[in-house]
Structure 1
Amino acid sequence: MYSEADLLPISALQHLAFCPRQCALIHLEQAWDENLYTVRGRLLHERVDTPGMERRRGVPTEFGLPLRSLALGLAGRADAVEFTAAGPCPVEYKLGRPKKHDADRVQLCAQALCIEEMTGRSVPVGALFYATTRRREEVPLGEALRGRVRELALALHALLDAGVTPLPEFGPHCRLCSMDNLCRARALGRGRRSVARYLARARHDEPPGDEQAGGAPPEPSPQGRARRTRPGQKPQED
């Protein structure tokens, strides 16, 4: 069990599932940058994060519900929780469309585990609502997804306790990332490959030639201060 002082934001778990470097830049180095998508996402959440209870389609729904799990060491706020006859159902509002990666489902499942711990009631399913498609996606919260959430929660605490920002790994997920300018994955990723080739040649006493022309050597991995983003601090959940 974690203490109240050790609780980390559920949003950090989502960031870790998407990219460990992004997670460390935001929650270790307190860096944040916005693009069109994050601004739209923030405006969307401002509309649903206002705490309050109302009935939707006859279902009592709590908005902006505070959550925590001492077992996972996480805390945050659910966009909405529907209290149906079958049990509580967290609903997370997202900009855009359903994604290939599982970061949204990880965040939703973490919220469900918090609700189960807080209420003692089973939460077998949650829902993701995507603003662009205007469609609601039901998400079964099976044991495989729950296991991934538990593993990521442990990894999140280990990452922030270590206080070291991972090196960049450029990939398709970088294309729309709001942290692209701060992360510099394109430049540093190319530089890291060039240095690897340089060292490989040096071990065989071969001249390096122009192998470094592809990019500059990677900068030292930034040492993030061991200062964690607490629940309620910026950045808010996506």
Structure 2
Amino acid sequence: MQTQEPIYLSRLQHYLFCPRQFALIELEDIWTENQFTAEGQVLHQRVNQADQQKRKDVRTVWALRLSNEELGIEGVADVVEYHKQPDGAEIPYPIEYKRGKPKKHSADEVQLCAQALCLEEMHDIEVPEGALFYGEVRRRHPVVFDAALRDLTRQTILACRAIVQTKITPKAKYQAKKCRGCSLIDQCHPKDFGKSAAAWLAQQLTKD
């Protein structure tokens, strides 16, 4: 099996938010904090410290390192609860912490599902469900890892892999609401690079 550079679990979310954002981070090593990313860091301060505890039939592990060699992904789970079954087996239940509230797209669900795929390979056991904990609503949002979500997660991993292998940064596509909330807007220049070469040149000549 050919060795491949692992794709980090958190990068899958970046790809689904914007493939160009993923490429800027992955290929060009560009990252800038803004209010939203800073709030996310604060939310993760507790769970980023490796630790574990056990209460009754639930063993909780924080900051658990994950990997799936077959898919070429790795990362760290915020929290994984191991629920003890009557037969003594432990079923992993990954929990990812996010700022804000549940979103209309599936980026958070894909990142969580990728964690489940790692846990399944690591423990050789099926992981049917996990949860997203949103800081704004302060409660868990259960996520079932059904066939559709698993397929989307695998397709996202393949799409990320394609960008890494070709080393081609996708062209910018300006979307006002999405781009204004992106911490890389000043490095991406979506209004400029999202235009055709002729339109961009005409704009520069007008400025001059």
Where does 1:87-106 land on structure 2 (aligned, <5 Å)? Answer: 87-106=91-110
Where does 1:94-173 land on structure 2 (aligned, <5 Å)? Answer: 94-171=98-175, 172-173=177-178
Aligned mates of 2:128, 2:198 — CA distance in 1: 48
Aligned mates of 1:64, 1:2 — CA distance in 2: 29
Shift of 1:194: 6.2
Structure-2 change in CA distance of 1:37 and 1:67 (3 Å): same
Structure-2-length-normalised TM-score:
0.88
CA contact (8 A) 2:57 2:84 kept: no
| Counterpart position of 1:225 | none
Structure-2 change in CA distance of 1:57 and 1:174 (3 Å): farther
Question: Please, what is the CA RMSD of the aligned residues?
Answer: 2.1
Shift of 1:17: 1.3
Count residues with an aligned counterpart. Answer: 199
Fraction of identical pairs, as percent: 43
Aligned mates of 1:77, 1:65 — CA distance in 2: 5
Structure-1-length-normalised TM-score:
0.77
CA contact (8 A) 1:2 1:70 kept: no
CA contact (8 A) 2:57 2:83 kept: no
Larger Rg: 1
Provide Cα deviations, 1:27-69, integer angstroms capped at 9, x if missing partner. Answer: 1000011101111111221221111111368621110000000
| Counterpart position of 1:28 | 27
Structure-2 change in CA distance of 1:147 and 1:216 (3 Å): farther
Aligned mates of 2:29, 2:48 — CA distance in 1: 23
Q: Say if 2:186 is the partner of 1:181.
A: yes
Structure-2 change in CA distance of 1:121 and 1:163 (3 Å): same
CA contact (8 A) 2:129 2:145 kept: yes
**Which structure 2 residue ranges, 5 or more long, are not aligned?**
86-90
Q: Say if 2:26 is the partner of 1:42.
A: no
CA contact (8 A) 1:63 1:79 kept: yes
Structure-2 change in CA distance of 1:150 and 1:186 (3 Å): same
Aligned mates of 2:81, 2:14 — CA distance in 1: 25
CA contact (8 A) 1:2 1:71 kept: no
Letter in 1 for 2:20: R
**Partner SS for 1:167:** coil
**Which structure 1 residue ranges, 5 or more long, are not aligned?**
199-211, 218-238
Q: Which region of structure 1 is more displaced relative to structure 2, 115-124 or 10-19?
A: 10-19
Aligned mates of 1:156, 1:24 — CA distance in 2: 8
**Partner SS for 1:6:** coil
Where does 1:54-65 land on structure 2 (aligned, <5 Å)? Answer: 54-55=53-54, 59-65=58-64
Shift of 1:188: 2.7
Shift of 1:155: 1.3
Letter in 1 for 2:166: A
